[in-house]
Amino acid sequence: MLVIELNEFNRELLQSVAARLGLDHLRSFLGWQHAETWAEDAYDSGFLEPWSQWVSVHTGAPASEHLVKNLGDVPHLKQEQIWETWSRNGVTSVVWGVMNGNRRGAELCKIFIPDPWTFSEDAYPAAYQGLIDLPRYLAKNYLDFSKRTAVGKAFRLLLTLLGSTRGKDLLDGTRYLLRGLRKFGPTNLSFIVFFEYLSVMAFIRAIERQTPDAAVVFINMLAHVQHHYWKTPDGRECPQIDFAATAVNEMLRKMISRCGSLARGRIAVLNALSQSCTDEEPPWILYRPNNHAKLIEALGLHALRVEPLMTYDAHVFFADDEATARGMRILQSARVAGKALFFAERDPHDSHKLFYRVAMSDPLPSDAEFVYRNQSARFADHFTAIVQRTGKHQQKGDLFVNFPMSRERLPNNEVAMLFREMESSRALKTA
């Protein structure tokens, strides 16, 4: 069983790009048996996020039951994840890059690579830690990072890649980087495609070496480009979409040709949820703090530490109840252009931990100020406008499989049941 988690792809967009560019492997899986999935969570529920919906896919529980709302919340997850079920039934696995997951009790999970934003989970075995140290550091600090620290982590990443990929794959990944830099410059897209391509190449090499019974791999680049690019001013699909889709097509080609019995067995490709284009909607701007820790210090929160998440959000830890309550008051009272600057809430499992994200998404003038604790500061000194969003999350998703499937529509959490039944049956027959 090979599960390919192609995060948030829009089916119609991908079909159009694959047909126009002749991307045979994308076209192939888009022609498999299809089921529409959906999430019960509304857009403004706080749960219609990939880090919540992938937990639903992995556990079989809707977000209203597992209650994992934010990145990094998985240490308190009560439900069993599919790779834990596989392990309990004697099925070996490799789990690569999954969002908001942990290895936990899966003893037969031979390799577990978490996403870069789940700060509570490291790679297993530790020899793979170099794959996530640099992405984790840059994801948390990309607007304000130490070049010296980044170079050190990049060197460790290179050493890990040299030991976990084929030389030809490393060269192919470098070609994608050079192509991206030539076409788009040193943008996040160029480096995301480069890193994810090499990450999948390391996944393929791990499958070749470990030959597990089942594997899961997570690929995020299409979600990124849909949020940041969708259509050109004349209505055509952006070249950034073409670039990422071409890289995904090549990843699929290598997985199918080299992953042995996994590729010859049952394969599922799914997105957990999709995105819709927002070109016709009012502008929605993603603002990110330049440095979460410095911002929290400037606001006077007296925090013990800050754990930045993907973009505009973070967890903040305090020493006691009084400091936590004070921090909550400051975050909730901050205003910009007469509106709340932050959304903040207490962690349900840790009374000395807060979650916050930037709530402001309106276009702001360059001289805008925000107000906190009867003080004011220039907004642009602490926040950067990352992107005017071009794609937003929607409740519908897609599941494509290369085997018979009786259902044409199902909740996304029930996808886990398909995988569990399949591999449990296989383990019992083998026994």
What per-residue confidence (pLDDT) applies to 428? 43
Please list, in sequence order, all residues whose beta carbon lies within 8 angstroms of the beta carbon of residue 162, skipping any fewer than 6 positions away.
Answer: 170
Q: What is the pLDDT of residues 240-280, one digit of tens each?
A: 999 999 999 999 999 999 999 999 999 999 999 999 999 99
Q: How far apart are CA 349 and CA 366, in angstroms?
A: 39
Structure tokens at 70: 């934010």
Alpha-carbon Rg for the chain in angstroms: 22
Q: What is the pLDDT of residues 315-324, one digit of tens each?
A: 999 999 999 9
Percent residues over pLDDT 90 in the chain: 84
Q: Say if CB 272 and CB 410 are below 8 A apart.
A: no
Closest CA to 340 of 357, 323, 363: 357
Q: What is the pLDDT of residues 134-193, one digit of tens each?
A: 988 887 777 778 889 989 999 999 999 999 999 999 999 999 999 999 999 999 999 999
**pLDDT band at 58; cut points 50, 70, 90:** very high
Q: Say if CB 75 and CB 102 are below 8 A apart.
A: yes
∠ at Cα 382 (115, 181), nearest 5°? 55
What per-residue confidence (pLDDT) applies to 342? 97
Res 360 pLDDT > 60 = yes
pTM of the model: 0.93
Res 108 pLDDT > 70 = yes
Q: How far apart are CA 197 and CA 194, in angstroms?
A: 5
Closest CA to 157 of 132, 123, 176: 132
Q: Say if CB 100 and CB 118 are below 8 A apart.
A: yes
Amino acid at position 272, single letter = A
Q: How far apart are CA 34 and CA 30, in angstroms?
A: 8
Q: How far apart are CA 124 and CA 71, in angstroms?
A: 19
11-21 vs 239-258: helix crossing angle, rounded to 10: 80
Strand partners, 307: 315
For 344-385, give the secondary structure using H, E and C: EEECCCCCCEEEEEECCCCCCCCCCEEEECCEEEEHHHCEEE
Strand partners, 375: 372
Q: What is the pLDDT of residues 59-106, one digit of tens each?
A: 999 999 999 998 888 888 999 999 999 999 999 999 999 999 999 989
What per-residue confidence (pLDDT) applies to 422? 60
**pLDDT band at 15; cut points 50, 70, 90:** very high
Dihedral sign from CA coordinates of 290, 294, 300, 303: positive
What is residue 324's three-state secondary structure? helix
Q: How far apart are CA 199 and CA 176, in angstroms?
A: 13
Res 295 pLDDT > 70 = yes
- Give the mean model confidence (pLDDT) for residues 292-305: 95
What per-residue confidence (pLDDT) applies to 426? 55
How confident is the prediction for the chain on average, in pLDDT? 93
Q: What is the pLDDT of residues 386-407, one digit of tens each?
A: 999 999 999 999 999 999 988 9
Strand partners, 10: none
Strand partners, 35: 399
CA atoms within 13 A on the CB side of 313: 19
Q: What is the pLDDT of residues 362-380, one digit of tens each?
A: 999 999 999 999 999 999 9
Tell me the domains of the chain and their CATH numbers.
2-277+394-430 (3.40.720.10), 285-388 (no CATH)
Res 429 pLDDT > 50 = no
